[in-house]
């Protein structure tokens, strides 16, 4: 069992964020006799999952639904983690495509409506991209 300080140090996640994750039901702690939190070591893997999932754009509700598929009373097996991550392939592919567009389009017109680059007049005359919906239309894809 690990203290919150040990979990924070090892995971790189602030203690306040760990308490927030616990409040949201994403991780669980037991209470020592002193009332202090004690985390089972496999919590580190769950936290890594949460951090990574947030980076690829999952909301905390979505992360909670994914984590709810894991057994609550023991460390998940490799197979159980595999099943969870296999559901993410499409999401990760979409995120990679977004990042590629971001990388390639940083100096190009992204169809955001600003019309501030000299290329906007050609690529997005009169903000015609805005007819497709809100946001940077050429980034959204
Ligand atoms: S970069 Fe904003 S509309 Fe072209």
Ligand 1 contact, 109 CB (< 6 A): yes
- Residue 15 CB burial class (10 angstroms; 0-12, 13-18, ≥19): middle
User: At residue 49, what are phi and psi to the nearest 5 degrees?
Assistant: -60, -45
Contacts (Cβ under 8 Å, ≥6 apart) of 83: 69
Q: Report the pLDDT value the prediction gives residue 20, as an integer from 0 to 100.
A: 96
| Residue 141 banded pLDDT, cuts 50, 70, 90 | low
- Residues 29, 43: Cα–Cα separation, whole Å: 9
Q: Which of 102, 105, 107, 111 to mutate to test the pocket of ligand 1 (most atoms within 8 A of CB)?
A: 111
Q: What is the pLDDT of residues 21-47, one digit of tens each?
A: 999 999 999 887 888 889 999 899 999
pLDDT tens-place string over residues 100-114 = 888 887 888 989 999
Q: Which long-range contacts (CB under 8 A, 24 or more apart) does 109-118 make?
A: 109/138, 110/136, 110/137, 110/138, 110/139, 111/136, 111/137, 111/138, 111/139, 112/136, 112/137, 112/139
76 lines ligand 1 (CB under 6 A): no
The two structure tokens encoding residue 22: 């616990």
Structural tokens at position 137:
């239309």
Task: Specify the pTM.
Answer: 0.70
Q: According to the model, what pLDDT value does residue 87 have? A: 73
| ∠ Cα 35 70 42 (to 5°) | 50
Which residue has tokens 């007049």? Answer: 121
Q: CB of 11 closer than 6 A to ligand 1?
A: no
- Whether residue 113 has its Cβ less than 6 Å from ligand 1: yes
> Does the beta carbon of 111 sit less than 6 angstroms from any atom of ligand 1?
yes
Mean pLDDT for 119-139 is 91
């Amino acid at each position: 069992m690990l203290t919150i300080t040990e979990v924070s140090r090892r995971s790189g996640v602030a203690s306040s964020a760990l308490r927030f994750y616990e409040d949201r039901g994403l991780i669980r702690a037991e209470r020592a006799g002193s009332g202090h939190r004690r985390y089972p070591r496999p919590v580190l893997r769950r936290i890594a999952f949460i951090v990574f999932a947030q980076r690829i754009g999952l909301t905390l509700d979505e992360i909670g639904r994914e984590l709810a598929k894991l057994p609550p009373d023991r460390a998940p097996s490799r197979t159980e983690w595999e099943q969870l991550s296999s559901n993410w392939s499409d999401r990760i592919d979409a995120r990679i495509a977004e990042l590629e567009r971001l990388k390639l389009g940083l100096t190009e017109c992204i169809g955001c409506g600003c019309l501030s680059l000299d290329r906007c007049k050609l690529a997005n005359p009169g903000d015609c991209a805005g007819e497709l919906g809100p946001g940077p239309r050429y980034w959204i894809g």
